[in-house]
Amino acid sequence: MDITFIFFLGLLIALIGVIPPGLLNMTAAKISLKEGHSRGIVFSIGVCVIVIAQTYIAAIFARYLSNHLEVIDILQRVAFVIFVLITIYFLFIAKKQPKQHIEPRMRSKYSRFFQGVFLSAINVFPIPYQAYMTITLASVGWLSFDQTSIISYVSGAATGTFVTLYMYLFFFDKIKDKSITSQKNMNYIIGSITGIIALFTLINILKEL
């Protein structure tokens, strides 16, 4: 399998996963707006360091699952329940909670780097997302689980994440007053995405019955 093709697959999958407004990209954009692009870029680099680790873990996990199909059936059902709960939370619960802003005091570029590392580390959603996507790509023959392919895919995912964050850094000041950036609409977007994933998961479960 061509490693360049695999690299761009990883980049595209990461773009799809990160481009909806969320904690990481909105934080990067706000840092850039308030403190300058350079600090936003340092924050984004911190995020991508963790993305590399998360995507690699997801690929290794997916390789294990591909050799244990019975485990996939169980996790598919668990994933469906989790995605449904997440969808309910973002569509019906999160929007009713008061919006609180806690602005950490950051005094250096290095502190922004570690803030990016921390926020990315507590955002564990990329691991199941990437595991699901790598299994799907492998099932259609677009990805193999040899070390070279995994490294190429991980590199693409990190690059795709950085590209998306970089876009937010430089375009947020133009869209910050648009309705899409409101917390309510961000919750709707995230809830809609997880709802679509839950629907596809349910269809796959029903097909296997």
Residue 203 lies in a domain: no
Three-state secondary structure call for residue 99? coil
Task: Read off the tokens for 58.
Answer: 């997801």
Residue 205 lies in a domain: no
Residue 53 lies in a domain: yes
Q: Residue 34 and residue 180: Cα distance in Å, rounded? A: 20
Tell me the residue range of the domain where 142 lies.
3-72+103-177
Predicted model pTM: 0.72
Q: Angle 135-140-143 (CA atoms, 0-180°, nearest 5)? A: 60
Specify the pLDDT at position 102.
42
Specify the pLDDT at position 100.
44
Residue 136 lies in a domain: yes
Q: E-assigned strands of 38-99?
A: none
Which residue positions in the chain have pLDDT lower than 70? 1, 20-21, 69-72, 75-76, 94-110, 173-187, 189-190, 208-209
Residue 78 lies in a domain: no
Residue 196 lies in a domain: no
Q: Give how many domains the chain has, as a whole number.
A: 1
Residue 49 lies in a domain: yes
Residue 185 lies in a domain: no
Name the one residue in this structure whose structure tokens are 């773009």: 15
Task: Read off the tokens for 146.
Answer: 């040899």
